[in-house]
Every structure is written in C-alpha cells, then in structure tokens.
Structure 1
Amino acid sequence: MTSPVRALWDAPAAVPAPPGRVWRDWVLVGVIPALAVVEASVRTDVPWRWLWAVVLTALAPTLLWRRSRPFTMLAIAFAVGTAVGLATAGDPQLYTTAYFLILLYAVFRWGSGRAMVAGGSLVVIGMLLTFLPTPPQVADVIGGVAVAVTTSTLGLAVRWRRRARSRELEQVRLLEREQLARDLHDTVAHHVSAIAIQAQAGSAVAATDPGATVQVLQAIEAEATRTLREMRAMVGVLRAPDDALAPTPGLAEIRSLAADAAAPTIAVRLGGDLDSVPQAVAAAVFRIAQEAVTNARRHARGATRIDVGVDVDSDGVRLEVRDDGVGAASAAPGYGITGMRERAALLGGTCDAGPTPDGGWIVAATLPRAGWTA
C-alpha cells in the first residue's frame, strides 16, 4: 500500500473519544420509527412500504451505538437494507431511509482508519447491488454518490477540526508548564536557597553565639513558612493555562500596564497590603489583568479609558478591569477568557466577564485567601 493509504488504514479512532449517549440519541430512535409509519401511511404508491417501515423501525436502535461501534452499526443497517432491496427487487423509496446517512457520518466522524475504509467500501458495494434489479438513471447514480461523498466529507471535516482544537489546547498546556517551571524556580527555589544560607550561618555561629543561633532559627522558620505557602499556591497554579516570562510578575507590576502610551489610556489603582499576597497568586492576578487589558484594547470599540483596580483585604484579592467602550452584548469564551476563568478557579476564586449596564465591558476576578492557603 502507498503511504497515504497506509496512513489512513492505520489511523486510530477519533480523539478525543466520543461522548456517551445523550437525550438526542433516544429522540432519534423514537422519531425515526414514527416517521417511517407516517410516511408508509401517506405514500400509498410506494411498493413494499409497510415492509420498509418495519425494517426501519427494527434498525433504528443502531443509532444508540453509532459512536462506540460505528462500522458495526453501518454494516448491520446496510446489510439488512441491501438484502431487503434485493428481495423486493426495488430501491427503498421511503425518505426515512435517509437515516442511514447518520450511520455513514458516524463512521467518518468517530471510526478508525480501517472502519472508514471498510465503511466506504461497504456503501459502494451496497449501492452497486441495489442497481442490479433495474439499471439506474445517470442522474440517480450521480446524486447518490454526491450525497454519500458529502456526508463522509462532513464527518471528516468535523473530526479534523475537533482534533486540531484538541492539539491547540494541548500546546497551551505545554507552554504553561514551561512558564510554571519558571515560577517555581523564581519563588519556592528562592526561599529554599535562603533557608540553606541561614542554616550555614547558624552552623558557623552555633558554638560561639547561641543568641544569634536563635535568630537564625527564627529566620529559617519564617522562610519555611513562606515556602510552604508558595508551594501550596503553586500546586493550584500548575493546572492553569496562560503565558508568562521570568521573572514572575506581581501585583506591583500591574502598574506597568499603564506605561503604554497607546490609546486607550490605562489607569491603575492598587489598594491594601500587597506584600501579604503570595507571589504565585500575585502572578495569577497580574496575568488576568494583563489578559483583560489586552482584550479591551482589541475588542472595545471606541474605548478611551481602561480602569484597573486591585483591592487586597483580609478576605483575599479582588480585581476589576473596566473599559468605557462599546462591546458586544455577549461573547463566546475564547482562550483568553477561558484561561482567566480557569486560573481563578484553580486558586479557589471566580472570574466573570461581561457588559456593564452603562456600557463598556468589565472583567471581575475574586481570589479568596482560603483558595491559596488551604
């Protein structure tokens, strides 16, 4: 076999895996028999109409397994349909038989490479066999082939689009892991190095200055506490997608967002005890603010001002990024909004984005202390 054919033959099943049965599957199983009976009652000119109605009713449950066993269900449906067509010496003229296309779509959407090749071959053989009793019209052949090819192509297009989306998300995760490795080095490793230095100093003065030794131990305790806090925060942040570069930014770096002279202007307000926020959490707040400002610059039509506010209190950190532009009434969450929400959620907080009653757009994130100290 040539390389393209071999690649198709060895292709695995669709990734990600197909979902389980949903309510729509049961609706289809219930609707198709009903449509077959109604059509058989109305179209009195169709030969063997009640036989075909019974066959379609019996084959309708194949839709329940079309994702997990796509080729098997297609083979069953086409084998039975072709056998009945040959026995009655005629094509199934009920429009309800178009449900077979759902099974064909499922093979190319969810099946493996072998299933796609075998399913396509099965459809071709089935079409040729139905042409044996009576020679078909050229228009009928062209129409049948066009419908089958279109259905198969649609299944492949949806399959490849979903796989491309999955690869993009995986790439985002890989990039974030690299960034979080930098965060780990710049925060926790810093405290561990300080502990090691203090321990060396304690060893040097232990014999001559017991008082200094106590101070060293207190310093080690303080560093160890901060390290533990940073590590707990990092465990949550390790699962959040975003991008960054070392050194890890903090709350104070949010002021740098206002340094860009390009319109709209950015006003930054920071309030509360900024030093009480762990570095990893502060980096998360900075990234959310950065993404929100970037989105406002890109999408807020007519915006002249972006206000960034950060408040730190005993409950945690609250961030608001608000613009005065004209935004959409709603927006489908892309990577930016999804990343902000996931980063906040993994630290035990929330992040909401949407239009304001008086116009403009607001991004509001709340990170409670319980989320990063638990």
Structure 2
Amino acid sequence: MSAAAFSTWWVRLGQLAGLAALGLLGLFDLRFGLFTGMSPTFALLLVVRTGLAVATVPVWLPVHRQGSRALPVAALLLGTASLAVTFGITVLSSGRGLLVGGSWGLAESAGLLAVVFVVTRRGAARLAPWAAAVTALAAAAMPLRAGTDNVLVIFGLLQALAAVGAAAVGIYLRVVAAGRERAIALVRAEQRAEFARDLHDFIAHHVTGIVVQAQGARFVAEQDPQRVIVALEQIERAGAETMASMRRMVGVLRNPDAPLAPLAGVADLAPLVQGHNGTATVPARLHVDGPLDGLPVEVSTSAYRVVMEGLTNTRQHAPDARSVHVAVRRTPDWLLVRVADDGTSGRTAPARGHGFGLIGLTERVRALGGTITAGPGVAGGWVLDAALPLHPAVAR
C-alpha cells in the first residue's frame, strides 16, 4: 500500500470513529435531555438543537481544500444558530425548572468542537478566526441551556478550553502544512533550475557541433558534394534532438545566475556505485542491459539522479540492508531504472522525514513524460522504479 493510500485509510477511520462517537452522544442526549411540560416552542427548540448536531457533520466530516471560503461561512452560520438556540432555551426555561436531564446537547458540543478544529485547519485565513471564535463561544455557552449553576458554568469553561485546544491543534497543523508546501516549492524550483542548467550545457554542446559542421560543409561543398549531404544529415539529427529536448522541458524555470556544473549521466553510474561501496556498509551491484550510448542528455542525467537518490535512501533508511541491486535496461522506447535493496527496517513512505529528494526527482521525471514509483518490494525490501521515454512521441 502506498503512503498516500495509507494516509487516506487513517483519515477514513478517523471519520468513522467521529461519526460513531457523535451517534453515541446523540443517543445520550435523547435519553437524558428531555423537557417536562414542554410547550410547542420548547419542542421546536429541541428539534432545532438536534438538527444543529446533525448539521455539524457535513462541515467537519469532508476533507476540505485549503483556504476554503465556504467552510468558515458554514461555521459562522452554525455558531450563530447554536447561540440563538442557547439564548432561546435559557430565556424560556428561566425560573421554570423545565430541564430534568443533565444533557444540554453533547452531540452538538462535540460537533462544534470538531468544526472549530476544521475551520482553523482549512478555512480561508481572513474568515477563519472569526468563524472559530463564534463557534467556540457557542460551544462554551451551551451548558447554560441547563441552568446557571456553578457546575454548569464550570462545564462551559471546560468546553471553552476544549475549543481553544482544538483551535491550537488546527493552527499547528496548518502552520506545519504551510511550511512543508513552501519547502516542496523550493525543492521543485531548485530541481527546475538544475534541469535548466543541464539544458544549457546540452544546447551549448549540440549547437557548437552544428556550427562546426555547417562551417565544414561550406568549405567542402565545391570539392565533395556527397560529404555536404552527410554533414547536413548530421546537422538535422542534432537539431531535431535539441528541439525535442527543449520541447520536453518547456516551462522549466531558468536562473541565469546559477553556476553551471558538469553533467553526470549513465556513463558515470559505475563510478557512482563504486563510490557508494567505498563509503557505505551496504554493497551495491550494477547491472546494465542494452547499449547506453546515444541517449538524450536529459534522460541520461535523470537516470543518474534516480540511481543516486536510490542509493542515498538506502544508506539513510535501510541500515540493515545487505545488498543493493541497481539495474538499468534499455528498450526501443524506454530507459528503465531500478534501485532495490533487501532492508527490513519497515519503511512506510518513499523517504522518512520530508522526502524532498524524491519530490524533486519526481518533478524531474514527470517533466520528461516518464513515471517513477517507490515502495515495498514483492519479496521485501524497498524498490525505486523509473521509466524514462527515449522519444517525444512515447512521452505523449
């Protein structure tokens, strides 16, 4: 099971647990929250109270998008309605002793606390504080429906503290998520800038070759026209390859001030593996199937980075692994890269912690039109697989 699917299952289990808890509290309210000698007005307020408890479910249960405007608006409406019901019950029951049970609406209280958490976690930044404040005030005031005794006032304070705690957790998770998104955006920008540097070197190499071939063709045109045709064919191939690479990397951010570095590609895999074996306790073996010459430069460099990321993750997250198998296979249309270890450390995500290395690598591979996956192997261990297209038509 992938990390995303694993996380989704936890969310679904949490939602089911919340619904079950709300249902039990609703049964408690029905059993111990009844009025004696209720007038039609009291009966209406009780129905509205029950309806409010149910109305909180579609607000806190779904997974809302970040910055939702509808979420704080719904929370404001719920909080305002709850305060109105509290005011109505308090006024009508003042001095009459009409409430014989001890429940003021525990299901509604729990639902409002969940709304406070969700609205601070996902609501639009401008509206979320106001919506959370009104909803928290509604939850704190609910015990007053049962009277104004000291015990009920204390319960109101406890619900206010619970609302503050829910808001604090929601804000904390919001800040953590925002920080992670900024870090991911930075990694992607750096990866795109690195891609642009590779493109710069690649174009410089091929354009220089085209210029040299064109100059040579001009000098031999009168002496050997056949050689001119050969030179033109070479120029055509180099130009087509350059244009294909540029089309694949449309949208790549370019930092003109970034320093240029030498390109590392599949030809450097053997030294990379040897360097890994010289510094790590987990030996790696390289297996190559098919010729690796003539690869598009962006495919070659991306394959190198896939292997580098796989070896890095094995060294960091699989200290108990006994071996790492690096396989590179070329087919007519694809370059397939696999890094597999036999570690049993129980990794549950592509990389522990933030996993920004894999995020940047995924950005790079997808820019080429390829695919990349990471997860537990069928026979155990961890497997990083990447498929890189060799032709633009394959990537589409």
> TM (normalized to structure 2)?
0.72
1:84 aligns with 2:85: yes
Give the 3-state SS of the residue equivalent to 1:273 in structure 2. Answer: coil
Q: Which runs of 5+ in 2 are unaligned?
A: 1-10, 61-67, 94-101, 254-258
Aligned partner of 2:5 in structure 1 is none
Aligned partner of 1:367 in structure 2 is 388
Deviation at 1:252, TM superposition (A): 0.8
- Amino acid across the alignment from 1:284: S
Q: 1:302 to 1:371 in 2, by over 3 A?
A: farther
* 1:285-334 deviations in Å (ceiling 9; x for gaps): 11111111111111223334323222223242222323344342643553
* 1:33-82 deviations in Å (ceiling 9; x for gaps): 96676344321556778555411344344654675333332332222222
Q: 1:287 aligns with which of 282, 305, 310?
A: 305
Q: 1:124 to 1:213 in 2, by over 3 A?
A: closer
Q: 1:158 to 1:52 in 2, by over 3 A?
A: farther
User: In structure 1, how many angstroms separate the alpha carbons of the residues matched to 2:18 and 2:282?
Assistant: 56
Aligned partner of 2:213 in structure 1 is 198
1:27-42 to structure 2, matched below 5 A, reads 38-42=27-31
Q: Which runs of 5+ in 1 are unaligned?
A: 1-21
Identity %: 29
Deviation at 1:283, TM superposition (A): 1.0
Give the 3-state SS of the residue equivalent to 2:207 in structure 1. Answer: helix
How many residues of Structure 1 are paired with residues of Structure 2 in the alignment? Answer: 348
User: In structure 1, how many angstroms separate the alpha carbons of the residues matched to 2:260 and 2:306?
Assistant: 15
1:226-305 to structure 2, matched below 5 A, reads 226-235=241-250, 238=252, 246-260=261-275, 261-262=278-279, 263-305=281-323
Q: Is the 8 A contact 1:233 1:281 kept in 2?
A: no
* 1:220-253 deviations in Å (ceiling 9; x for gaps): 22321332343344459x59xxxx9732211111
Q: Is the 8 A contact 1:233 1:280 kept in 2?
A: no
Deviation at 1:181, TM superposition (A): 1.0
Q: Is the 8 A contact 2:121 2:174 kept in 1?
A: yes
User: In structure 2, how many angstroms separate the alpha carbons of the residues matched to 1:36 and 1:357?
Assistant: 45
- Amino acid across the alignment from 1:364: D
* 1:156-194 deviations in Å (ceiling 9; x for gaps): 112112111111111111101210111111113321232
Q: 1:105 aligns with which of 100, 114, 117?
A: 117
- Amino acid across the alignment from 1:56: R
User: In structure 2, how many angstroms separate the alpha carbons of the residues matched to 1:254 and 1:169?
Assistant: 27
Q: 1:351 aligns with which of 372, 376, 379?
A: 372
- Amino acid across the alignment from 1:185: H
Deviates further, 29-38 or 336-345: 29-38
Q: Is the 8 A contact 2:187 2:360 kept in 1?
A: no
User: In structure 1, how many angstroms separate the alpha carbons of the residues matched to 2:133 and 2:379?
Assistant: 61
Aligned partner of 1:322 in structure 2 is 340
- Amino acid across the alignment from 1:100: L
CA-atom RMSD in angstroms = 4.0
